[in-house]
Amino acid sequence: MLVGGASAAVALIGQSHPAPPVTPPAIAPLLPADAIGHLQMYTQTTGWAQRLSDGAILHTTAGVERWTVASPPSAKTPLVVAHLDPDQARALTVAAGAGAQATLQAWSTQDGGATWARQGTLSVQGFNGSIGPGVLDFVDAEHGWYSQIEAASGVAGSALYRTVDGGARWTEVAATSPGAPATPGVIPQGCAALTAAFVSASTGWMTGTCLSGTPPFYVTHDGGTTWTVTTLSPVPAGALEETSFSPIFVSGRDGTVLTENDSEAGITTSLFATSDGGLSWRLQSTTAGQASTEDFLDAQHGWLVTDEDGVGSAPDLYATSDGGSTWTHVNAFPYEGLSLDFLTPTEGWAADDLGQDESGPTYLVQTVDGGRDWTSVAPRISGASPSP
């Protein structure tokens, strides 16, 4: 059940909507060559994605069924991509089989990937692509950050790189430093896989997983150099492990952040919201179960997929129209490892998020009734990466 944090009211999720059968619909998984993820649609016809088999950047102006390879003209592999709008994107590429000390090449496009401009490079330590590519985040055409998860022999932690000129030049602004105090240029210790997400050129948050205490939630107001703790409360007591997910902002003022609290009593998920650009956060709701993915269309309309919530044996999809204070059980959602991408309160898609275990089947599904029913999409990919 969900406890409404704003009103302290108890709302039993699924009470008026009995759990439907959890047998997956007759939807065939995608073939490996057609599997796509990291989907972001800006209109019904225009959006970005990546091919799972090789990370190739994809762009469409014809809907989710037809895609064109739109990678930079390089023999290197796309590592991370940040979409700015239907036409603009930034990317980092890396040589296949790169070692712990790797050089990443930055790229930019303004025409949907038809052409790319080579930008600067950044040298990273502790690179290990097998544990995750890191996170690339741009708030406008000039200001961007790359969060690198360091995991190589003798190097472990996180490092944050920043550009203020669209990727032409990169500077390491903060890094984990064993035993160092919380001073400028130092990322707080004690947590794993910390990555940053920004809402402006100066303000951002760092999230990840801690083995004890409160969910990691650090804030910066100087572009990523100095980080201080922001407390998200209340959270369930007795947690053995706390996880915070990257905040989602639908405007400069309205945003949400999920936390996952793992204790001996079980796993719960809490949703916090802000309406003042992150100056303050309020608990909206807490639900039993593990969060798989969330998506907010605006300050009021959102969706959440949870697992092990006691409603059914498969993951379940919930929807809110009041900013997350109360939720309605929509249906079972038996497609693991997918991220939601809603365009309107009724129309949306779900595709691989590139961060899950890729060993299972991969789906691309769409809904036109707010998530109650889903149908399969069979994408067609044309074109090849441009020659260097």
Domain extent listing, the chain: 2-16+73-356
Give CA separation, 280 vs 197, 236, 253, 256, 385, in Å. Answer: 17, 19, 11, 11, 45
Class of domain 2-16+73-356: mainly beta
pLDDT of res. 18: 40
Look up tokens 């100056």; give the residue.
279
The dihedrals phi and psi of 131, each to the nearest 5 degrees, come to -100, 5
pTM beyond 0.75: the answer is: yes
pLDDT of res. 211: 78
Contact call for residues 208 and 191 (beta carbons, < 8 A): yes
What is the 3-class SS of 195-260, one letter each residue? Answer: EEEECCCCCEEEEEEECCCCCCEEEECCCCCCCEECCCCCCCCCEEEEEECCCEECCCCCEEEEEE
Mean pLDDT by 10 residues, the chain (388 residues): 33 38 57 85 98 93 97 92 98 87 95 98 83 91 93 68 98 79 71 90 94 85 93 78 93 95 86 96 90 93 84 81 95 87 97 66 91 93 68
Q: What is the DSSP string of 351-375?
A: EE-SSS-TTS----EEESSTTSS-E
Contact call for residues 122 and 104 (beta carbons, < 8 A): yes
Among residues 148, 146, 202, which one has the least CA distance to residue 169? 146
Radius of gyration of the chain (CA): 20
Contact call for residues 351 and 49 (beta carbons, < 8 A): yes
By 3-state DSSP, what share of the chain in percent is helix, strand and coil, each rounded to 5? Answer: 0, 45, 55
Spatial neighbors of 211 by CB under 8 A, at least 6 apart, are 190, 240, 241
Contact call for residues 293 and 354 (beta carbons, < 8 A): no
Q: How far apart are CA 119 and CA 231, in angstroms?
A: 38
Eight-state DSSP code of residue 167: T
Q: How far apart are CA 209 and CA 148, in angstroms?
A: 15
Lookup: tokens for 317:
């999809």
